[in-house]
Amino acid sequence: MLDLKFVRENPEIVKQNIKNKFQDHKLPLVDEVIELDEKSRKTQQEADALRANRKAISKQIGALMGQGKKEEAEALKEQVNKDADRLAELEAQESELQEKVKKIMMVIPNIIDPSVPIGKDDSENVEIQKYGEPVVPEFEVPYHAEIMEKFNGLDLDSARKVAGNGFYYLMGDIARLHSAIISYARDFMINKGFTYCVPPFMIRSDVVTGVMSFDEMDAMMYKIEGEDLYLIGTSEHSMIGKYIDTILKEETLPHTLTSYSPCFRKEKGAHGIEERGVYRIHQFEKQEMIVVCKPEESKMWFDKLWQNTVDLFRSLDIPVRTLECCSGDLADLKMKSIDVEAWSPRQKKYFEVGSCSNLGDAQARRLKIRVVGENGKYFAHTLNNTVVAPPRMLIAFLENNLREDGTVAIPKALQPYMGGMTEIK
């Protein structure tokens, strides 16, 4: 969420930013929120004046009563009662106007970083760099579900009977590989200096609206019926929510956390949820990283975060590339984002396995995450990034480590987490 004062003083910048995100239908909201804000401030000023006047008159009434001037005191009391009626009316207007302002401000997108390329959608994202040599083997690489099923490692049919489409059973060595990758990613991030955390897997509505836009919430979140709770779509939601309505001491920054959680997503409107595979599903597990830092350090942390993901995938011999997300592909709270994509030998192209985002102070402003330092209070900057998210990671791992004889090589870094196994056969 933007600073209302910034919107008031820079309406053309805010409008141009909306145009850069190809959300022209939101342009009228800028003038509307400025007008509502002006009415709200005038209402508040009148209400404050009445409150101050009531306080002054109350003192006068006390003095007059002490002097025996009862009639004059009663006349002032009548004035106080009239003012009280007007004040009640103003306070109701004030509350209504503030709610309208907040609702609009939650919809106006964050100002994107100047370095973000302008484009309508993900087809206009810009490749930054490739890491590792993408290889297309001479033998045909089967569909990832077929590879898993050959090891008796995937049961989609039973999962469909139990929970429906978009769920799966992982079995045997494939299930063990899944857990090994999560454990390896955990230790990888701990060795990078991040604090390990297992967060709540449900969050309240005030946290949900603090960490994402309404559109994202509707498309992603599962609501717990009869309770003010939602299943998390990623542990980032719960991790950032940890800091809701807090004041952090500047000297304690940055806060760098890595977290494990299951993730639950409706995938509303998603294509391919019916296909026989585990690329897009309703339930998966994930290792995440978040940073809460000073504004001047967020660019540095952004570069560190996406590099961590690149380093992890390369440590497992998986070629990856980084993509700069264009303006139209950025969620409203994000000011800058880089996707990490892994190489798929079967498809002979890259596919997304992680996304790193700098949200500036947008989340912190919504959640009231403040920092107190030598120069007073200010809002923190928040960032998040995927360390690894099986089973997408499993797809990349299996395709890139599959041998012609059907066995799967286990890279040296992962072998201790697989009980010393050097291959799956």
Rounded mean pLDDT of 68-88? 73
* Mean pLDDT of all residues in 163-186: 96
Q: Is residue 372, in this structure, part of any structural domain at all?
A: yes
92 with 204, same domain? no
Share of the chain above pLDDT 90, in %: 80
| pLDDT above 60 (res 69) | yes
For residue 92, being part of any structural domain is answered with yes
Assess whether 96 and 137 both reside in one domain.
no
- Which pLDDT belongs to residue 62? 67
Q: Is the pLDDT of residue 214 over 90?
A: no
Q: Does the pLDDT value for residue 330 go beyond 90?
A: yes
Please indicate, yes or no, whether residues 101 and 132 belong to a single structural domain of this protein: no
Average pLDDT value for residue range 50-76: 71
| 3-class secondary structure per residue, the chain | CCCHHHHHHCHHHHHHHHHHCCCHHHHHHHHHHHHHHHHHHHHHHHHHHHHHHHHHHHHHHHHHHHCCCHHHHHHHHHHHHHHHHHHHHHHHHHHHHHHHHHHHHCCCCCCCCCCCCCCCCHHHCEEEEEECCCCCCCCCCCCHHHHHHHCCCEEHHHHHHHCCCCCCEECHHHHHHHHHHHHHHHHHHHCCCCEEECCCCEECHHHHHHHCCHHHHHHHCEECCCCCCEECCCHHHHHHHCCCCEEEEHHHCCEEEEEEEEEECCCCCCCCCCCCCCCCCCEEEEEEEEEEECHHHHHHHHHHHHHHHHHHHHHCCCCEEEEECCHHHCCCCCCEEEEEEEEECCCCEEEEEEEEEECCCHHHHHHCEEEEECCEEEECEEEEEEEECCCHHHHHHHHHHECCCCCEECCHHHHHHHCCCCEEC
Query: Does residue 205 belong to any structural domain of this protein?
Result: yes
Number of structural domains (the chain) is 2
pLDDT, tens digit, 9 for 90 and up, residues 277-286 = 888 899 999 9
The more confidently predicted of residues 88 and 136 is 136
Sheet arrangement for strand 381-388: 126-131, 320-324, 336-344, 349-358, 381-388, 283-293, 255-264, 195-197
At 314 the pLDDT is 96
- Residue 167 pLDDT: 93
* pTM, rounded to two decimals: 0.89
Same structural domain, 32 and 158: no
With bands split at pLDDT 50, 70 and 90, how would you rate the model's confidence at 105? very high
State the residue range of the domain holding 190: 122-424
Same domain membership, residue 315 and residue 251:
yes
318 and 224 fall within a common domain: yes
Residue 63 has pLDDT above 80, yes or no: no
pLDDT at 82: 73
CATH number at residue 21: 1.10.287.40
Say if 237 falls within a structural domain.
yes
- Is the model's pLDDT at 73 over the cut of 70? no
Tell whether the model's pLDDT for residue 269 goes beyond 60.
Answer: no
| Residue 44 in domain | yes
CB 97 within 8 A of CB 43: yes
Within a domain: 145: yes
Cα(388)–Cα(219) distance, rounded to whole angstroms?
22
Whether 98 and 140 map to the same domain: the answer is no
Are 326 and 404 within one domain?
yes
Mean pLDDT, residues 219-247 taken together: 94
Asked whether residue 296 falls in the same domain as residue 362, the answer is: yes
Same-domain pairing of 401 and 297? yes
Question: Last residue of some domain: 71, 105, 139?
Answer: 105
CATH code (residue 315): 3.30.930.10
Has residue 82 been placed in a domain? yes
Alpha helices for 22-165 (secondary structure H):
27-66, 70-105, 144-150, 156-162
pLDDT score at 204: 95
Query: What is the predicted pLDDT for the residue at 56?
Result: 72
Q: Which two tokens stand for residue 353?
A: 């396995």
Mean pLDDT for 214-221 is 81
Question: Is the pLDDT assigned to residue 272 strictly greater than 60?
Answer: no
State residue 74's pLDDT score: 66
Residues 6+ away with beta carbon under 8 Å from 414: 180, 181, 184, 316
Q: Show which of 105, 134, 162 is a domain's final residue.
A: 105
Find the helix or strand (DSSP H, E) in which 248 lies: strand 246-249
pLDDT by residue (tens digit) across 4-41?
A: 999 999 999 999 999 999 999 999 999 999 999 999 99
- Which of the two residues, 247 and 60, has the higher pLDDT score? 247
**Least confident among 199-203, 263-267, 351-355, 412-416:** 263-267
Structural domain ending residue among the three candidates 77, 105, 133: 105
Provide, rounded to the nearest whole percent, the portion of the chain with pLDDT above 70: 94
- To the nearest whole number, what is the mean pLDDT of the chain? 92
Higher pLDDT, 275 or 357: 357
pLDDT range class, residue 75, cuts 50, 70, 90? confident
- Same-domain check for residues 98 and 206: no
Query: How confident is the model at residue 275, as a pLDDT?
Result: 60
The verdict on residue 112 lying in a domain is no
Co-location of 279 and 174 in the same domain:
yes
The pLDDT of residue 190 is: 98
